[in-house]
Copies of this chain bind each other. A is one copy, B any other.
């Protein structure tokens, strides 16, 4: 295992300490229980937006805490769900009188623990809603999931909900928005290489030198097909085809096209794949009105990419364009 770490058991803690030291203007990090929260607090009467999940997918979720996106995030150990007490503490920290929305990727542990935290929050008089994100079209049910997995769509939904909260919308409205966004977004990923969880010390799975896995999960869960490596254009076709047909996307739709790096894939390759994905979207009659290209939801040092597409309306474009100031995504004032 080749990693820039000290003790494998302290990776998340030490990384969070560095993260806190780098971004004191945007975030505060609490330990015991562990959560990341915007350093300026949630304004009174504004809905709080919270997410979380296993570490190892950075910048998601910690890197999207700040202004205009997440108000807090609960990082678990690497690829391990955070605990209900983390989620409750974070819920309390972002509760400003208008309720708290939990954005939950569909993994069994995450869903179960967020449900528990929702009940614990309610016991304390905090109105909590939760929306489960399940945008991965690759497989039904998976190693850690009943139903579809939550993947790249999460990044987009976190942005939309943060902007809606800044816009003063109610908990009910933002919950509906998150559900609508989830229904309008589809993703699929692939891997060229495995990643290695620090505490495991060995690669999560094995791929031969000429193999790739199509439909991989963000923890290395099995996908649809393990096959010989193909050209980038052929790979993009294998991902875009199922995405386009699943929603389905129709000619004339406005879309946001997100080409995401899994960790070790150079920007050069991501843009090369974006070229093909955008051309396919255009051939399908879609208008790519916004895009995002880069490593935003990663799987440690896995090489590969995922593609996410969301059907957009004018109000979603406005929410996407709204200012965001986080360590991982930043535009506007």
> Which of A4, A55, A63, A233 has the most chain B CB atoms closer than 10 A to its own CB?
A4
Considering only residues 254-274 of chain A, those with a C-beta below 8 Å from chain B are: 263-274
Q: Is the CB of A4 within 8 A of B232?
A: yes
- A266-B300, A303-B264 known; A18 and B271 CB under 8 Å? yes
Measured CA separation A19–B259 after assembly (Å): 12
Q: How many copies does the complex hold?
A: 2
Shortest Cβ distance from A21 into B: residue = B278
Q: Is the CB of A271 within 8 A of B19?
A: yes
Residues on the B chain within 8 Å of A325, using CB = 331
Chain A facing B: main interface SS: mixed
A32 at the interface (CB under 8 A from B): no
Q: Could you write out 30 A-B pairs with CB less than 8 Å apart?
A: A2-B209, A2-B212, A2-B303, A4-B192, A4-B265, A4-B273, A4-B305, A5-B272, A6-B231, A6-B232, A6-B233, A11-B272, A12-B268, A15-B275, A17-B275, A18-B270, A19-B274, A22-B278, A22-B293, A56-B268, A58-B266, A58-B268, A63-B267, A263-B264, A265-B301, A266-B300, A267-B298, A295-B295, A330-B330, A332-B333
